A = this chain, B = another copy of it.
Amino acid sequence: MPPAMEKALQLKTAELEKISHIDYFNIAISVDCVIFGYDEKELKVLLIKSDLEEFSGLYSLLGDLIRPDEDLETASYRILKERTGMDDMYLEQVHAFGGLDRHPSGRVITIAYYSLIDIKHQKLQLSHNELSWHPVHEIKKLAFDHKLILETCLGRLQQQVLDYPVIFNLLPEKFSLRELQELYQAILGVELDRRNFRKKIVIKDWLLDIKEIENDVPHRPGKLYKLKPELKKKNGKKKFSATVR
């Protein structure tokens, strides 16, 4: 018996004695990452072809079992690093999913995170050629309960974009207000008025005018902005002052 299991036998909880102790360790724990990207004016998610027979032909989120010596965030960052080559990505825990039959091979409880990444970022290396980006709104069916997980994470993202400067993780460092507006529209699924959008963004005081303009556009170039550096923390939304309500 491995030491951690021995240790756990010392746990005192109300009902522990009613069930064979070893059964409590028949549950595996995984992390699944919904990795959002933005390209061609669409919100996309990074998926992999499922390697389970039960789900042949279906795609699934990127996930892995949690190792005994790593905490939840460490596991998530490991998956991101392994799959994309990047670290220091924005990451946020969303929800735990623990349905009895969610995994065909056994009981697996998963903790879902979402992550935001610039698809065009030079460091992004999709190590595995079974990985591919899929437009979020065109996804019909995924392996496991991953469609539900995706929808839950999208909902959380939609809640957060209005109050916290997280969206910039989906854009290159320099961007125009048009690109930013198109991104909001893609995430929220609404059309926004250009003038009102600009006013609202200015009020939030997130942007730095870097005194450059677009080039290579077949029309009048727009000004470029950066996210203010002090807001650039990849994780920990607690650092931003939430909107007072």
A13-32 contacts to B (CB < 8 Å):
13-16, 19, 22-30
Q: Quick one: which of B12, B25, B97 contacts A26, CB cutoff 8 A?
A: B25
* Contact across chains for A14 and B82 when beta carbons are under 8 A apart: yes
Alpha-carbon distance A172/B96, docked complex (angstroms): 31
Q: Are B65 and A24 in contact (CB under 8 A)?
A: yes
Whether A64 pairs with B14 at a CB distance below 8 angstroms is yes
Looking at A2-10, A33-41, A212-220, A228-236, the stretch in contact with chain B turns out to be A2-10
- 102-147 of chain A: CB within 8 A of chain B: 103, 105-109, 111
A11 within 8 A of B: yes
Partner pick for A71 among B10, B69, B93, B98, CB 8 A cutoff: B98
Q: How many angstroms between the C-alpha atoms of A100 and B7 in the bound complex?
A: 14
A98 CA / B110 CA spacing, docked (Å): 12
CB of B4 within 8 A of CB of A107, answer: yes
Interface status of A210 (Cβ within 8 A of chain B):
no
Cβ–Cβ < 8 Å partners of A245 in chain B: 162
Take A5-B26, A99-B71 as given contacts and tell me if A65 and B13 are in contact as well, using a CB distance cutoff of 8 Å.
yes
Q: A15-B64, A65-B16 are in contact. Are A71 and B100 (CB under 8 A)?
A: yes
- Complex partner residue of A27 from B19, B51, B68, B107, CB under 8 angstroms: B68
Q: A186 an interface residue at 8 Å Cβ cutoff?
A: no
The answer to whether A105 touches B64, judged by C-beta atoms less than 8 angstroms apart, is no
CB <8 Å contact, A72 and B109: yes
Which of B26, B64, B105 is the one whose CB lies under 8 Å from A68?
A: B26
Closest chain B CB from A160 CB (angstroms): 12
B96 and A8: CB pair below 8 A?
no
List the B side residues contacting A96 at CB < 8 Å: 72, 93, 96, 111
Residues of B within 8 A of A10 (CB): 105-106
* CB of A152, distance to nearest CB on chain B (Å): 11
Find out whether the CB atom of B106 lies under 8 angstroms from the CB atom of A11: yes
**Chain A to chain B contacts (Cβ below 8 Å), 14 pairs:** A2-B22, A4-B23, A4-B27, A10-B106, A13-B30, A13-B64, A14-B64, A24-B67, A27-B28, A68-B107, A69-B100, A70-B100, A71-B98, A72-B98
